[in-house]
Every structure is written in C-alpha cells, then in structure tokens.
A and B are shown apart, each in its own frame.
Chain A
C-alpha cells in the first residue's frame, strides 16, 4: 500500500483500506485499555518511550558537547597579540562568566535538594530532568536514571521543596515521573495538625484538590499537607504543600479544598528519587521546613511554628557557613565535583560529612528537633 495512495470518493478499495485503518485504530485503543501494564501493547509502548527517553538524554549531552567543542575551537584560534585576539579573549571571558553563573545556579539548586533530603530524611539518588511530555494531556517528566540504578515504578519523587510526583514507568536508564498535577495522579495525604486523612488529586486546570476528606475534620487555610503513606503509593511524612483555600461549607456539600503545592515541576532540573524516607525524622523535620509555607496555621501551633522558624534560620546560617566559602572560592569546582558524584552514593556521603560537621558544632542540632514525639505531645 503506497503511503500516499491517491484517494477518490468513488474508489471502493481505498474506502475499504481507510475503514480498515480506522477499525485497527479502534481495536488498538480497546485492547490497550483492557490489557494491564504487562500487556503487549504497553510493553511495546514502554520500549519506544525508553528509547526516545535515552535519545532525549543523549541529545541534551550532544548540546553540551557541541558547546564545549565550539568553545575549544575558539580557544585554539585566539591570538592575544592582535586586537581580534583580545576580542576573542573577551568573548571567551564572557562565555566563562556565563558558564560560572550556570554552575552557581546549579550549585544553589543542588543545595536546595540536599537541604530537602537532609530535612526529610529521604534517601535516594539525585536525577536530572532530561525530558518532558510530548503530549498536552500527560503531565510527566523524564529523568536520567532508571531500573539499572534501582528505580522502580511507584517510587516517590521530590523536588527541592516537596513531593512532585511518582515514578510511573521505569526503563533501564530512564524513568517517567507522573506529576502530582496530572489528573490521573492521586496521593494519600494527611493534614499535619489534625492527622486527618484524604487524597490529593491533580486536575485539568493544574490545581491540586484535597478530596475524600472527613467532613468533621475540615482543614483551614495554611494547614500543612503531608503524604500519609496509606496504600503504600507514596513514602510517609513528606511535605506536599499547604491548604490554599477551603470552599464554602454552608451549602452542606463537601467544600472544595485547594492545595498549594510546595514544589513546582515547571522549572525543575534536578529531583530526588526517594528510595526510603526516614520515619523517625519526617514529621518533625517537615514541620520545621513547612512552617514558612504555612504562615497562617492554627494558634495552637504558633509557638511550635516560631521555634521551627528559628531552627530553620539557624540551619540556613549553618549551611551558608559550610558551603559559602566553597561556592565563593570556586563555584565551578563545587558543581563539577558535587554533581559529578551525585549519581552515586559518594555524593551523599561527601555532602553528609560536610553537613555532619555543621551538626557537630551545634548549629544544626535543631534539624531533627521538633520531632515526631513532640508533635504528638502538642496535639
């Protein structure tokens, strides 16, 4: 069958072929919907997506390599004895400055992730975002680690300030993460203050809604929402966001509760895939980290919140003291070394050592203060 077979309204064979193609499409759709994740069509699609994900990652590397090659070419052709040589040098310096700025920003993002990892007690590798969905209906991102690094479907994924989604498909070297904002996404959550359970769902309009909630324990604006771990889909105790608005409760119907996510995946470049979240530190630590977003929390929590803020501030100072010198001295070296090692366990250890040093001198003792037991007592 020629790919552009001439058509004619009166051409019966062409009409038949067209009908066959449409029927094949419908059959594919029905079979795809009926079969499970292990079905042949799903597997074929996963295979194609795995390949395209790797190509997307490779093309990102190709872009960096092209940039590096052109920079090297400029270096080789520069002649400092002439005016044009000086101009070349100037261009080169500009290029280096831009590169240093890029490293500085990367350094900041990685510090944010490290901070989140430390505060939440989560363990797992850092991954780069190498792709986004090619389809408007699918809110997902592709990351550059996969089953070869231990990533499996269902693992929680965090940004620098909270949960962003869940691994929906893991390929050998890449994985697809379904974002919380996807309408098909749902996370079992609890309100930090009342411990009441619910489900946070994404929607077509991009907002997160808190549903399946007990009417007697309605949250108020500013209440912090954490993953509850019920159902085992998300690790327990990780911050999702804060209640942004609670709809009118006078009508008798269940009000619409909108949750403002702490982390947005729009400009995200690196994420943490959570292999395991430390249960003992989660509730207390997320309390301190989420106080800034839950500014209008209940009065019963205000004293706790203020102490948490103080702790967060001292943590920040400690981190600044710890890493400030490094970034001032040589941001490029820090980023190269830090991120270069971030794909393996060494990254965690090296940064943990640095962070532990901060804890040793007493500045970071507050990280795990406000522990889970204290929260329970306060309640």
Chain B
C-alpha cells in the first residue's frame, strides 16, 4: 500500500488500483493489436468500451469516470477518429451505467447485463453521432445499420466476458458476498 500526496489531496494506491491499471493497459493493448484482426463484417470490437462498461457495472460504488475519460481519449488518439468523441461517450455513459446500476439495487446477472447492454448501445450511438457531426459521410440510418448495431452486438458480448473477469478479480475491498446476494 502506498500513500500519495498531491495537489488535490491524498489517496492510497492499493492492490486493487494496480489490478485496475493493469487491466486497463491490457484493454488498450488488445484494442491496438488484436481488435483490428478480429473484426466481423463491419464490426470492429472495442475492448476499451467493453472494459469500462463491465467495470462500471461490476463496481458501481467505486467506478471512476476519470479512468474512462483517459481510456476514451487514448482510443481517440490511436483510432484516428475525432479527439474527444470516445472520451465523451465513455465518460458519460459508463458513469450513467454505474449510477443506474447502483440505483436499481438489484445485482442479479440479468440486471447487470441489461444495464451493460443499454450503456454499450448508448455509447456506440453517441460515438456515431459524433462521427456524423464531425463530417463522416453517410446517413444516420446507414450508420445505425452498418456500424452502430454490429459494433453494439460485438461490444456487448465482450463486455459480458469482461464483466465475468472484472467481477472475479477486481472485487472492491471490504465487500463480503453473502448467500442472499448469490441467490438473487
């Protein structure tokens, strides 16, 4: 455990933080080197989006929007798209997903997946709107049919897998699972 003092106050770097940073780096590397080669049709997977959304739902009480902002900005830098588009979409909708999941007070798998699905879809739609506004040629209907929906399906499947991994390895400190929680 390491205590860091900064201008904004002090915070503690725990093992949990390190795991999250490593997981985020893995997501970025997968996006850089694996995603371009496993595209299906018009859909190219977005590991960063899947990771952020899974993290937002797996740890709604401690989810950090700063992480999604940084990862979104990284995606914009390496992806060649307009800067700020994915940063905005990820920050806004992963935060929205984490708060919505915290509000519903229902941690069943179905609810987690439903919230993730909505979050991934909204983030993809938001990014598509940014692309079209930014000068991308094409109609919104075509964008929905040929980019947003295929990418949503791919990203949602990835976010389910990411959720399984995150829920297992990045449990927030102090949380004790009860039988009641598991039965729900």
Which A residues fall within an 8 A CB radius of B? 1-7, 9, 17-18, 21-22, 24-33, 41, 44-45, 48-49, 52, 55-56, 59, 131-138, 140, 176, 183-184, 201-206
CB contact under 8 A between A135 and B137, given known A6-B62, A7-B64, A52-B32: no
User: Ordered nearest first, which 6 A-B pairs have the shortest CB separation?
Assistant: A4-B64, A28-B84, A25-B88, A29-B84, A135-B79, A132-B36
On whether the beta carbons of A131 and B142 are closer than 8 Å, the reply is: no
B44–A183 CB distance below 8 A = no
- B169 surroundings in chain A (CB, below 8 A): none
Interface hits, B67-87 → A, CB 8 Å? 67, 69-70, 72-73, 75-85, 87
Residues of B within 8 A of A (CB): 8, 11, 17, 20-21, 31-33, 35-37, 39, 42-44, 46, 61-67, 69-70, 72-73, 75-85, 87-88, 91-92, 95, 98-99, 127-128, 130-131, 134-139, 142-143, 145-147, 150-151
Q: Are A7 and B66 in contact (CB under 8 A)?
A: no
Chain A residues within 8 Å of B20, by CB: 3-4
The number of A-B residue pairs with CB atoms under 8 Å apart is 165
Q: Write out the residue numbers on chain B whose beta carbons fall within 8 Å of the beta carbon of A206.
A: 42, 146
> With A9-B99, A22-B88, A131-B36 as given contacts, are A136 and B135 in contact (CB-CB < 8 Å)?
no
- The residues of A that contact B91 with a CB separation of less than 8 Å are 18, 21-22, 25
Whether A25 contacts B69 in the complex (CB less than 8 A), given A4-B63, A32-B84, A205-B146, comes out as yes
> What would 14 more interface pairs be, CB under 8 Å, given A135-B44, A137-B131?
A2-B66, A4-B63, A5-B64, A7-B63, A17-B65, A18-B91, A22-B88, A56-B32, A136-B42, A183-B137, A184-B135, A203-B137, A204-B138, A204-B143
**CB of A161, distance to nearest CB on chain B (Å):** 22
Sample of 10 A–B contacts (CB below 8 Å): A7-B65, A21-B65, A25-B88, A28-B87, A29-B82, A29-B85, A32-B82, A45-B76, A138-B80, A204-B138
Contacts of B11 in A (CB 8 A): 2, 5
CA distance A183 to B136 in the complex (A): 7
Among B42, B78, B138, B145, contact of A52 (Cβ-Cβ < 8 Å): B78
* Residues of chain A contacted by B70 (CB below 8 angstroms): 3
In the bound complex, residues from chain B placing their C-beta under 8 Å from that of A9 are 99
Docked CA distance A55–B28 (Å)? 13
Determine the main DSSP class of B at the interface with A: helix
- In the docked arrangement, what's the CA distance between A48 and B91, Å? 21
A3 to B44, CA, bound (A): 27
Closest to B17 in A: A4
Cβ contacts under 8 Å, B145 to chain A: 204-205
How distant is the Cα of A201 from the Cα of B33 in the complex, in angstroms? 29
Least Cβ distance of B92 to chain A in Å? 6
Q: How far is the CB of A29 from chain B (nearest CB, A)?
A: 4
Which residues of the partner chain A approach B99 to less than 8 Å between Cβ atoms?
7, 9
Question: CB-CB < 8 A to A136: which residues of B?
Answer: 39, 42-44, 46, 147, 150-151
Q: Report the minimum CB–CB distance from B70 to chain A (whole Å).
A: 7
Chain A residues with CB below 8 A from B98, complex form? 7
A140-B80, A183-B136 in contact; A134/B88 too (CB < 8 A)? no
- In the complex, what residues of B have CB within 8 A of residue A48's CB? 77-78
The interface residues of chain B lying within 8 Å CB-to-CB of A41 are: 83
Contact A29 B42 (CB under 8 A): no
CB–CB B142/A204 < 8 A: yes
Nearest residue (CB) in B for A203 is B138
Complex: how many Å from CA A26 to CA B65? 15
Which residues of B have CB within 8 Å of A176? 80
B44 touches A134 (CB 8 A): yes
Contact at A2–B136, with CB atoms within 8 Å?
no
